[in-house]
A and B are shown apart, each in its own frame.
Chain A
Amino acid sequence: MPRKKDMTRMCFGRSWSGLLCVALLCLAGLGLSSVAMGAEFKVGLVLDRGGKDDKSFNASAYEGAMRAKSKLGIFLKYVEATDDNAFEPLLRAFAQRDFDLIIGIGFAQKEAIKKVADQFPQKHFALVDSIVDSPNVRSLMFEEHEGAYIIGSIAALTSKTGKIGFIGGMDIPLIRRFEMGYTAGAKKINPQITVIANFVGVTGEAWNNPPKGKELAVTQYEGGVDVIFAAAGASGMGVFDAAEEKKKFAIGVDSNQDWTKPGLILTSMLKRIDEAVFTTIQEGQAGKFSGGVKRFGLASRGVDYSFDQYNAKILTEPVRKQADELKAEIIAGKIDVPDYYKKH
């Protein structure tokens, strides 16, 4: 067995001194810092831990902010938190600098937003998915149950086996709200339908666990389910992989995910976080920011189902027609969609 010193030599060899030289050279190198300055409207965006590339929840928020950047000419800076205790320093860092509007994405930032907003009453804040009762905070809430109801009806209309699935990310009231609306919508179409629901996990990690999402989806498909609605953040990618493997349908969430597996993603339940973020920035820039709760439902197209070239062949005309009818009835107040938030 080689001794420690020999091991070290094996690992580092002569390249060690060269490595150090390179490293020191880098230290000595001076570049230019790229900080854009100006009197423009400055927006700080603090994303949830899923990050901007989750192709779902955060991606939608990021897209809205980027659209504001290109269309409204604002200055945008976005950050992703490393741990739950990091939200507050990041929000505070934005507030301390000359940022005009600070947007937090996800309910995990509720306490941090509340604290920082109260300390910086002259700054404007917005929060997605949770309500903070401060005059300088706008809470952006979505009527997920309404959107999920339509998705449930589409799933039931498309299913041939009479069994549909639901895969939630983290088992929390928000996702239960999706599930309840989805089940109600499906039962409206087919009262005998079986809805099988599973959750990826109980912690934040459940938003970013594609293997577990895939495992659950495969089990559901093998049990006779032929459409699965995945409301699971980045874990939904695993559900889509399972759909591809089993040649069955899946339904996306938050962003339009139809393009990720064309021909297999039946539709996506759009949660227009992008619109909410964009509008908030637009109003902020125009000096029309207001606090309080803004709700986005079917009527305001804050939640909707997606239809584009990627699912045009699978989301058939009669199904769409019936979904649109239900949509109109909900908007008209003729259907009372069960809301998990009100029942618990």
Chain B
Amino acid sequence: MRKLLQPILAVALGLALGLAVTWIAGESPWHVLKILEKGAFGSGYDFGMTLFYTTPLIFTGLSVAVAFHAGLFNIGAEGQLTVGALAAAVVGAVWSGLSAPLAPVVAVLAALLAGTIWGAIPGWLRARRGSHEVINTIMLNFIAAGLTSYVALYLLKNPDSQNPETRPIGPGYLIHQFGIFGGAPVSAALPLAILAAALVWVLLWRTSLGFEIRAVGQSEPAARAAGIDAGRIRIIAMCLAGGLAGLVGVGEVLGNAGKFKVGFSPEFGFIGIAVALLGRNQPAGILAAALLFGALHKGTADLDFETEHVTRELSLILQALVILSVSADGLWSWMKERRRPVIPETAGGVTC
């Protein structure tokens, strides 16, 4: 119960704060809330766009969560998804003659592999060289941005467009889009994301590798004492995290654009951190949290459209406040503690 209530309360608080801001800007909170709801779920197309934004967030949320379970903070999902998407686009553009069903499989594997490599680098550096993954993943985000821009602009540039993007991928690579969403680009990437969530759950809670990952994350000395090679586990966890983030490229490249567009991601990798936090690092929670943030992203985009005073910037503030309140972990335990009769300070630190 408490597990469920805490994140819901956090979202409610964030939303309330956000609505307060829009209220100050001169828009009725009720009106804003209605637009958010309608913008995200109002029609088949709107809901489709919500699901379209949800799909990458599931992948990045899972990516961050897997790393979290191994005691690592993966801020590099943004870079991992960028190289993943590029890899899928490169394979699709270079071997454009390949046909389905082999073609999309090859592209998915390419995205997976590229993301895995991008996760493995900071994992290895942390495990074997002791340099912190927070620094390394952030730096790799920049390297990914530079590398992908270079490939898209100088090696595989689309000659028919002024946009910074790669040549279109072969038609055999395009994956199925569901027709029921009125043209919104909801593709087979969504079921793939849900499948990934299920597999992550199985891995973490039903396999010995998953047990070892969680053991390392909860207490490295204890894991070592139990004979677990913590370094190896960390590398594996970062590989998994990178691979999951890399799969974002599937929905974007194979299911939507048909090419790699520089800057396609509105920071899915970073929103993924909030998704993992809100979902309490549980796959089921992440699915729900991703849907919420997907709906918020779509809904707030409509705010600019539907209201007089809420601009793009205010919409971002609303989103940011939700993320902020979600991130304000420990609020609940503090509230709970306050309700209890005064307990000596020593009781505090144990569970933290």
Q: Determine the residue in chain A with the shortest Cβ distance to B160.
A: A110
Q: Which of B161-169, B194-202, B233-241, B285-293 makes up part of the contact surface?
A: B161-169
C-alpha spacing A34/B263, complex, angstroms: 35
Known contacts A26-B20, A77-B305; is-contact A205 B263 (Cβ 8 Å)? yes
Q: In the complex, which residues of chain A have a beta carbon less than 8 angstroms from the beta carbon of B30?
A: 27, 29-31
On whether the beta carbons of A3 and B334 are closer than 8 Å, the reply is: no
Q: In the complex, which residues of chain A have a beta carbon less than 8 angstroms from the beta carbon of B348?
A: 3-6
Those of A1-59 within 8 Å (CB) of chain B: 3-9, 11-12, 16, 19-20, 22-24, 26-27, 29-34, 51
Q: In the complex, which residues of chain B have a beta carbon less than 8 angstroms from the beta carbon of A174?
A: 162
> How many residue pairs between the two chains, A and B, have CB atoms under 8 Å in the bound complex?
137
Q: In the complex, which residues of chain A have a beta carbon less than 8 angstroms from the beta carbon of B349?
A: 3-4
C-alpha spacing A181/B250, complex, angstroms: 41
On whether the beta carbons of A93 and B31 are closer than 8 Å, the reply is: no
C-alpha spacing A77/B304, complex, angstroms: 10
Q: Which of B101-109, B134-142, B217-225, B308-316 makes up part of the contact surface?
A: B308-316
C-alpha spacing A23/B20, complex, angstroms: 6
Interface residue? A119 (CB, 8 A): yes
C-alpha spacing A110/B183, complex, angstroms: 17
- Option from A8, A29, A85, A107 in Cβ contact (under 8 Å) with B29: A29
On whether the beta carbons of B162 and A172 are closer than 8 Å, the reply is: yes
Interface residue? A67 (CB, 8 A): no
Scoring B residues 268 to 306 as 1 if CB is less than 8 Å from chain A, else 0, what string do you get? 000000000000000000000000000001101110110
On whether the beta carbons of A83 and B266 are closer than 8 Å, the reply is: yes
- Option from A4, A6, A20 in Cβ contact (under 8 Å) with B16: A20
Report the minimal beta-carbon distance from B138 to chain A, rounded to whole angstroms. 17
Q: How many residues from A make CB contacts under 8 Å with B? A: 53
Q: In the complex, which residues of chain A have a beta carbon less than 8 angstroms from the beta carbon of B304?
A: 79-80
Interface residue? A136 (CB, 8 A): no
Known contacts A5-B334, A83-B266; is-contact A203 B16 (Cβ 8 Å)? no
Q: In the complex, which residues of chain A have a beta carbon less than 8 angstroms from the beta carbon of B143?
A: none
Report the minimal beta-carbon distance from A205 to chain B, rounded to whole angstroms. 7
Report the minimal beta-carbon distance from A31 to chain B, rounded to whole angstroms. 3
Give the one of A34, A81, A89 with max B CB within 10 A: A89
Known contacts A26-B29, A86-B301; is-contact A8 B16 (Cβ 8 Å)? no
On whether the beta carbons of A89 and B301 are closer than 8 Å, the reply is: yes
- Option from B163, B261, B305 in Cβ contact (under 8 Å) with A79: B305
Those of A188-226 within 8 Å (CB) of chain B: 202-205
- Option from A7, A82, A108 in Cβ contact (under 8 Å) with B312: A82
Scoring B residues 254 to 267 as 1 if CB is less than 8 Å from chain A, else 0, what string do you get? 00100001111110
Report the minimal beta-carbon distance from B282 to chain A, rounded to whole angstroms. 21
Interface residue? B45 (CB, 8 A): yes
Interface residue? B207 (CB, 8 A): no
On whether the beta carbons of B315 and A92 are closer than 8 Å, the reply is: no
Interface residue? B153 (CB, 8 A): yes
On whether the beta carbons of A27 and B16 are closer than 8 Å, the reply is: yes
Interface residue? A130 (CB, 8 A): yes
Q: In the complex, which residues of chain A have a beta carbon less than 8 angstroms from the beta carbon of B298?
A: 89
Q: In the complex, which residues of chain A have a beta carbon less than 8 angstroms from the beta carbon of B266?
A: 82-83, 85
C-alpha spacing A110/B19, complex, angstroms: 34
Report the minimal beta-carbon distance from A199 to chain B, rounded to whole angstroms. 11
On whether the beta carbons of A3 and B352 are closer than 8 Å, the reply is: yes
Q: In the complex, which residues of chain B have a beta carbon less than 8 angstroms from the beta carbon of A22?
A: 20
Report the minimal beta-carbon distance from A208 to chain B, rounded to whole angstroms. 12
- Option from A32, A79, A85 in Cβ contact (under 8 Å) with B264: A85
Q: In the complex, which residues of chain B have a beta carbon less than 8 angstroms from the beta carbon of A167?
A: none
Interface residue? B37 (CB, 8 A): no
On whether the beta carbons of B19 and A26 are closer than 8 Å, the reply is: yes
A sample of 5 inter-chain contacts (CB < 8 A) reads A5-B352, A12-B328, A20-B16, A31-B29, A79-B312
B interface residues, Cβ below 8 angstroms from A: 13, 16-17, 19-20, 23, 26-31, 33, 45-46, 49, 52, 149, 153, 161-164, 183, 185, 256, 261-266, 297-298, 300-302, 304-305, 307-308, 311-312, 315-316, 328, 330-331, 333-335, 337, 348-349, 352
The 10 A-B residue pairs with the shortest CB-CB distance, nearest first, are A31-B28, A23-B16, A83-B266, A26-B20, A4-B352, A8-B334, A8-B330, A172-B162, A80-B312, A107-B162
Q: Known contacts A80-B312, A203-B262; can you find 13 more A-B pairs with CB under 8 A?
A: A5-B334, A26-B20, A30-B28, A30-B29, A80-B311, A82-B297, A82-B301, A84-B261, A84-B263, A89-B298, A89-B301, A107-B161, A204-B164
